[in-house]
Chains A and B, each alone.
Chain A
């Protein structure tokens, strides 16, 4: 009874509380979380920087396949990239440049890393956001439906399909989609982002959509499985709790009990998980982008790592780190809004 009152009260009181949060405490919270991100970002940058040097002299590595280069050229290259200075000095120089958004020059072709990375940021974000929205839009109703009748035929189908989903290699699912929908049926493009070499389905908007369908399907399916498993488990727990029993006993419609009370409590842990899921999606980006020839950061990362192009690797690592941390921050803020019980100190 108490629980159900709180569920009602929480809902009615939400806007007022939000207004309270929008005052100084929320602002301070965001600032503190932003400050907390700094050591994490620096830590990751140091790990990446040290890894580069674990490999040995970058110039020697980058020129390993070119025996015609003289020692003088190698020395000139070393000086050109500032690799003759002590490693801590190099790191600080690099950090100072990063803070001015200058990622240095590529070891592979010598063009500025900014020019390599810049145009690839948006395609990656586009792919991730579209997938994330669709994944959550689909997984919530499926998980709720599945949890309402646990161990029914539908539920067993959903749980075993989602276990099947987490067992499937991401990239292989992409390959199969390309084989079926591009090569066999010829319905969708097999690679690239848009407009290459001609427009699919007539105009450029439809062309963009045509190119998005397969990679988004892969990313959605992969995160769908995890989301459904998580939300279903939370939902089962909520549906067994006393406040649901009380709500049912007091004659509130089943629909309202499930969607208004139980789901609200089941969804909050899922929002935290959304941050992790996003990390997982970004981690999956190299595979998906590689399979679909998507011109994003992930594909470039694979290419640059194979080429041992360290400045580009570092640049992409840092951008992905910052993107992931920001996404997590947004999730945490969302969490405060969704769950009135969470108070920021």
Chain B
């Protein structure tokens, strides 16, 4: 009995490994996708180790204003300050390096929460249908129609009132800014409906395939069908959407910070842009380079997402 059960599983594993290998081979041929992957890897590297390359420390450390004490406020890019100094006299190059980890934090955590909610809701709606499906569809329609940025701004403003700006909480030995985390949670709350709709569609599609019917005939429970059979089959779509969601979350956080709603004590790229908005005429470099950092990072994740989409879902090509 046992040996008979083991055999198909082993075979299935080998086949699934080769499926990913095929996707990787297809992905490797896609220049844009590989470029995206390289950008993403570079951003991840800078997110992890960028602090060590920065000539000046990050914001709470008073030495971040050392250029100011040398009288170097709003200095254009030079050998000393590769990207110039900003409106209050800190080094733009260091600020951007320090900001990389926040961009990644926002992108990754928003995406994890978004996907967790979206997969749960999408799976229930797509698999069981019925009133859950109806409610979800009406709900996501409202979200698709209504400009959610407006609600994101109110929520962020209201929820950051209670939390002290500039406070941190400890997560596995890393101190995480509370204000930025609130922004992340609000973004996730407003981001999941679109993704849930997509996952619901995938569930609807796969639910009707023969192998699910066969599994049902063999007496498998709903949970087994959802987790062991349908989810692995739509994993590729989930990976693609996750990559695009990271890009979108980074853009949204930058907008929220730029409009003055972000955590003023956490120098995300959007926050640097906001701080220098009034010095735009005299220190354009402090607006140009942080924005370029956002653009390149988001572009990288978008390229990666498109490349993954081509490699994993060839039938969706074009």
Contacts and interface: CB of A to CB of B under 8 A. Distances in A.
The finding on whether chains A and B are genuine partners in a shared complex, rather than unrelated, reads yes
Which of A40, A171, A317: most chain B CB closer than 10 A? A171
A153 to B, nearest CB: 14
Nearest to B300: A167
A175 B280 contact: yes
B131 interface: no
A249 interface: no
A313 interface: yes
Contacts of A283: 147-150
Contacts of A321: 146
Contacts of A290: 258-259
Interface string B55-70: 0000000000000000
B235 to A, nearest CB: 23
A175 B154 contact: no
Nearest to A55: B158
B16 to A, nearest CB: 30
A167 B299 contact: yes
Nearest to B294: A169
Interface stretch (A41-49, A88-96, A107-115, A261-269): A41-49
B273 A163 contact: no
A44 B142 contact: yes
B151 interface: yes
Nearest to B36: A163
Interface stretch (B94-102, B106-114, B211-219, B247-255): B247-255
Task: Tell me whether chain A's interface is mostly helix, strand or loop, or mixed.
Answer: helix
Interface string B24-48: 0000000010000000000000000
Contacts of B277: 175
A47 B302 contact: no
B219 to A, nearest CB: 41
A150 B142 contact: no
B157 A308 contact: yes
B146 A176 contact: no
Given A179-B284, A302-B259, A302-B260, A167 B153 contact: no
Which of B155, B259, B280: most chain A CB closer than 10 A? B259
B147 A282 contact: yes
Contacts of B149: 283-284, 286-287
B295 A172 contact: yes
Contact of B157 (A163, A233, A305, A328): A305
A169 B251 contact: yes
Interface string A151-182: 00000000010011011111110011011000
Nearest to B150: A317
Interface residues of A, number: 54
Contact of A306 (B146, B261, B280, B295): B261
Contact of B298 (A43, A56, A167, A317): A167
B151 A324 contact: no
Nearest to A51: B154
A175 B274 CA distance: 11
B315 to A, nearest CB: 13
Interface string A130-153: 000000000000000000001000
Contacts of B306: 163
A280 interface: yes
B146 A44 contact: yes
Interface residues of B, number: 42
B210 interface: no
Contacts of B251: 167, 169
A47 B157 CA distance: 15
Nearest to B139: A43
A117 B249 CA distance: 30
A279 B32 CA distance: 30
Interface in B52-87: none
Contacts of A166: 302
Given A306-B261, A324-B145, A171 B255 contact: yes
B9 to A, nearest CB: 39
B161 A61 contact: yes
A163 B294 CA distance: 14
A169 B280 contact: no
Nearest to B147: A283
B255 A279 contact: no
Nearest to A282: B147
Of all A-B residue pairs in the complex, the 6 with the closest CB atoms, nearest first, are A283-B147, A172-B291, A167-B299, A55-B158, A167-B298, A283-B149
Interface of B: 32, 142, 144-151, 153-155, 157-159, 161, 247, 251, 254-255, 258-261, 270, 273, 277, 280-281, 284, 287-288, 291, 294-295, 298-299, 302-303, 306, 318
Given A167-B251, A167-B302, A175-B291, 6 more contacts: A40-B142, A47-B151, A171-B273, A276-B144, A286-B259, A305-B154
